[in-house]
Amino acid sequence: MFLSKKRLTGWIAFVVCALLIPFIAMRFTNEVNWDFTDFFIMGMVLMGVALSYELIARKSKKTTYRMAFFIGLLGAFLLFWVNGAVGLIGSENQDANLLYAAVFIVGLVGSLIARFKARGMSTTLFIAACVQMLVPITALLIWPPSEISWAPSVFGVFLLSGFFAFLFYISGMLFKRTADNEVILN
């Protein structure tokens, strides 16, 4: 078994605690209104993140690789959660938010092409960071503020996108450091 009972228990506890956040929030505000499907999907996404980390990052003995993989996964997960819950551009129902799927596609396809090797992962995360910032530019050209809501604001959308791009950039830098250290050691 690739996952010890202790680690599996830890991941399940993490998923339960993460799902408790919206569950408790629903008790105090009407702004959070999840149904069974929302909890199920988020639970599966969280378990997918945990499984991905265990299957890929834990195979490396290098701490920088593990940190890079964790930060990249964290960025992707948070982007999924925020964009799905409230949307980055206006509300979660705005079509412009669908453009962020390009970031996930780049991450998945790039990781598979790189076979999760540090050098290729570095390139993939740098490209994902660029795509992350191209999304609001593209959305601004297709759906200007006069046509759709750009809540919190155009600046706010770019700032939020920049936060996610920064996570992908940091992940890419850590993958680059891992790859550079592998070259030095060989």
**How do the pLDDT tens digits run along the chain, 186 residues long?**
566 788 889 889 999 999 999 999 999 998 888 899 999 999 999 999 998 998 888 778 899 999 999 999 999 999 999 998 889 998 888 999 999 999 999 999 999 999 999 999 999 999 999 999 999 999 999 999 988 888 889 999 999 999 999 999 999 999 999 999 876 655
User: Which of 55, 78, 95 is the last residue in one of the domains?
Assistant: 55
Q: What pLDDT is recorded for position 152?
A: 84
Residue type, 177: R
**Domain match, 144 and 117 both:** yes
**Domain match, 68 and 124 both:** yes
User: Which of 55, 76, 95 is the last residue in one of the domains?
Assistant: 55
Q: What pLDDT is recorded for position 100?
A: 97
Cβ proximity of 58 and 73 under 8 Å: no
**Domain match, 163 and 79 both:** yes
* Residue that is written with structure tokens 């050691």 in the block: 185
What's the total number of domains in the chain? Answer: 2
**Domain match, 68 and 137 both:** yes
Distance of CA 64 to the CA centre of its chain: 18
**Domain match, 72 and 46 both:** no
**Domain match, 108 and 158 both:** yes
6 Cβ neighbours under 8 A, 6+ residues apart: none
**Domain match, 108 and 157 both:** yes
**Domain match, 120 and 161 both:** yes
**Domain match, 90 and 175 both:** yes
Quote the domain boundaries for residue 36.
1-55
**Domain match, 70 and 117 both:** yes
Q: What pLDDT is recorded for position 173?
A: 98
The pTM (predicted TM-score) of the whole model is 0.88
**Domain match, 117 and 99 both:** yes
Burial (Cβ within 10 Å: 0-12, 13-18, ≥19) of residue 184? exposed
